[in-house]
Structure 1
Amino acid sequence: METLLEKSVKFTAVILSSLLAFSAQADNSSFQHEISIATQRSLLDTKEVFFVANYHYYSNPVTTHTSPFALNTALSQSTNIGIDYSNLNANNTDDYSLDGTYVFDSHVFISAEYKRINGDSDEWIYSNDERETSFGVQIGYYLSNSAEISFFYREGSLSANYRDNEVLLNGFDDSLVTSQFDAETVTYGIYFQNYIPLQSFGGINLQFNWHNIQKNDNELSKYGASEPDKTGFFDRTNELNIEEKTNYFTVSADYYFNQSWSVGANYQWWQRDTTTTDYNHYENNRFEDDLDIRDYSGHFGVFGINTAYWWQISSNFSAEFSVSKLFNTDSYIIGGSLIGINAKARF
């Protein structure tokens, strides 16, 4: 059976090769349509394969000769609308989103995004039936032709159900049988970007992000005994509530030697406070009910380096190759070492 990576590479090749005839005769000085098909995978875990495809339309032509190719759309300051699809093979989730940005004559811009995530996998405890939706808005101002600052707000909700049919049929002492999971998340923060030209096509791109994330998780799990009786199979019910507050900062700098090649470094920092309320109820007085409340506070940082090269294959057809490495990673970060390819068609 083909892996997701093999399928995505073949699909990318078919789509982009079909655009070669069109690309050969087109002028690449500007574009209004962009199709992107990308894949990224971890060098440490072959299951961590990320695939994404998207399309964006820009109301005003986006020029390609005044900035590095990879930053053309970010610096275009043009009203646009887009649709995205992505898949993370590690837990088999499908992510669909629709986004749009409107730019006023006053250099103020407003963006909105709707996202839906569907998950279905036997490898993760909450992934047999997982649904997540989110909606976000962003308002910002273009400080110059190459700098912007914005404020964003996003709300999201997640619901999931887990059921272990093997336990229901065979029975195992105090094994998880069913679980219902719900979560509400509110995120707000600040984004800043500034590209500083240093020479004809060289320059430094600076970015800063701050996220404040407030999340409330509720989980109801039922556990079964090895010898279910007529009064019911479940003998223990667990109610778990986790209130989590996170401050997340990122700062990055990428140096562009020319329009195609860049190297960069970034630093990410998390500060997290959680309160966990854990309640167990036992049927038939098997054990005494118990309640446990735990508080946690901690922080950690991650440093990363990266490089990328943009290969302009033809007038409208290109491929970008990237490699990144994170240091001091832990379970909150997916993939310490990543390699990716992003194929684009612009016309």
Structure 2
Amino acid sequence: MRKPAKYPIIAMLAVPSLVLANTGQFNHQADLSYINNDNIDSYLSGSDLWQVNYRYYLDEVDVANGPYALNGFLAQSSQFGAFYTAQQDSLSGGAKADSDFYGVDATYVFDNGWFVGGRYQQSKPAQLNNAFSQDSDEYGLSLGYYLNDNASITVFYSNESQDDSRTLIDNQPSSEERSVDRFGVEYQHFFRFETTAGIDFNLVGEKQDIDHTILGHQQSGPTTTRYQADVYAVSASVDWYINTSWSLGASYMWLDRSYESSSDRNNGYYESGSNTIDQLSLNTAYWWQFSDHLAAQFHAEQFFGDRYDGTLEGFSAGASLIGRF
């Protein structure tokens, strides 16, 4: 089961009225998932997510090719996907906040093993007490190559942008703009074993450039508040598939951030600094293929961090119903 972005996305639909493909192969996958996060970060006492995901593979995907959860990756097929996520966060004091995320993505695989991809995501997070809209759009591009039947390497770029403006009571304009550029490389390799199904290894390194600017107004004139940060992050995950259904895994993330913050409001201020954090989690997942075309997947993950320093701490669990046809 994958996460939302920041996030998860695994989901499901059952459509028994459709004419299904022959047993063992599929072109369509539709999922519906529920995920519960308990005390994950400092802002939330918990959150609930419902996720719907659809994916179409141009080539037939063979379910006998490796673990069920990795069939799509190992197929190395051109594909198209779409998702929708509804998230409800439980805030301190019992208040609820609703957010929505949705998007599309596509990948085209050439005969020589190269592939290109693109994606779009729109986020509509809960407004809470912010005066400006926090809705954002994210566009991403990727270029990759399949090194062999079980491994790929990908370089990627994405831009997430958010902006809003309004006129204050005294007819003075005010606005907020935020932009995040990400550049990175990802390596994934499934190592097949004779005694167990194998190990899936994933390594990602990326750089983020963050720019956040608020333009306001005081009696003395226009004001500017700005935050800029450079973030370097490396994450690695290892999932050991004991058989084609059951996996045990661990993930680790290291992040280094340097920032500058300044404002000319109230006689102005300037601040700069840096910090480094790391994150560890352990997980397990089980895929139950209870019919030719329907399956259920269960996933649980324990995060070991400190939710007051920006890392995740707590427990996450979820279940998915998956249709393949």
Aligned to 1:58: 57
Secondary structure of 1:195's counterpart equals: strand
Is 1:92–2:91 an aligned residue pair? no
Aligned to 2:272: 295
Query: Is 1:209–1:249's contact at 8 Å kept on the other side of the alignment?
Result: yes
Query: Is 1:67–1:201's contact at 8 Å kept on the other side of the alignment?
Result: no
Which of the residues 237, 243, 251 maps onto 1:258?
243
| TM-score calculated relative to the size of structure 1 | 0.79
Query: Is 2:61–2:72's contact at 8 Å kept on the other side of the alignment?
Result: yes
Q: What amino acid is the match of 1:156?
A: E
Ranges in structure 2 where 5+ consecutive residues have no aligned partner:
1-10, 90-96
Query: Is 1:138–1:151's contact at 8 Å kept on the other side of the alignment?
Result: yes
TM-fit CA distance, 1:22: 5.7
TM-fit CA distance, 1:58: 0.6
Which of the residues 144, 153, 158 maps onto 1:149?
153
Is 1:322–2:299 an aligned residue pair? yes
Q: What amino acid is the match of 1:108?
A: W
| TM-score calculated relative to the size of structure 2 | 0.84
Query: Is 2:234–2:254's contact at 8 Å kept on the other side of the alignment?
Result: yes
TM-fit CA distance, 1:314: 1.0
Aligned to 2:324: 346
Could you tell me how far apart the structure 2 residues matched to 1:160 and 1:36 are?
Answer: 34
Aligned to 2:176: 181
Could you tell me how far apart the structure 2 residues matched to 1:317 and 1:162 are?
Answer: 50
Q: What amino acid is the match of 1:214?
A: D
TM-fit CA distance, 1:43: 2.4
RMSD of aligned alpha carbons:
2.7
TM-fit CA distance, 1:46: 5.6
Deviations 1:222-257 (A, max 9, x none): 79xxxxxxxxxx899863200011011101111001
Ranges in structure 1 where 5+ consecutive residues have no aligned partner:
1-11, 169-177, 224-233, 281-288
Deviations 1:254-286 (A, max 9, x none): 100101000011111110011001221xxxxxx
When residues 151 and 26 of structure 1 are mapped into structure 2, their CA distance, relative to the original with a 3 A threshold, is: closer
Could you tell me how far apart the structure 1 residues matched to 2:167 and 2:314 are?
Answer: 32
Name whichever structure is richer in helix by fraction: 1
Could you tell me how far apart the structure 1 residues matched to 2:129 and 2:59 are?
Answer: 44
Query: Is 1:48–1:335's contact at 8 Å kept on the other side of the alignment?
Result: no
Secondary structure of 1:67's counterpart equals: coil
When residues 346 and 324 of structure 1 are mapped into structure 2, their CA distance, relative to the original with a 3 A threshold, is: same
Secondary structure of 2:69's counterpart equals: helix
Query: Is 1:66–1:201's contact at 8 Å kept on the other side of the alignment?
Result: no
Is 1:125–2:130 an aligned residue pair? yes
Range with bigger deviation, 61-70 or 333-342: 333-342
Secondary structure of 1:130's counterpart equals: coil
Deviations 1:53-93 (A, max 9, x none): 11111110000012100001111100011111112222422
Secondary structure of 2:264's counterpart equals: strand
Aligned sequence identity (%)? 24
Could you tell me how far apart the structure 2 residues matched to 1:222 and 1:42 are?
Answer: 40
Deviations 1:181-221 (A, max 9, x none): 21011101000000001126610000001110001001245
TM-fit CA distance, 1:133: 0.8
Could you tell me how far apart the structure 1 residues matched to 2:254 and 2:57 are?
Answer: 34
TM-fit CA distance, 1:138: 0.3
Which of the residues 8, 32, 37 maps onto 2:27?
32
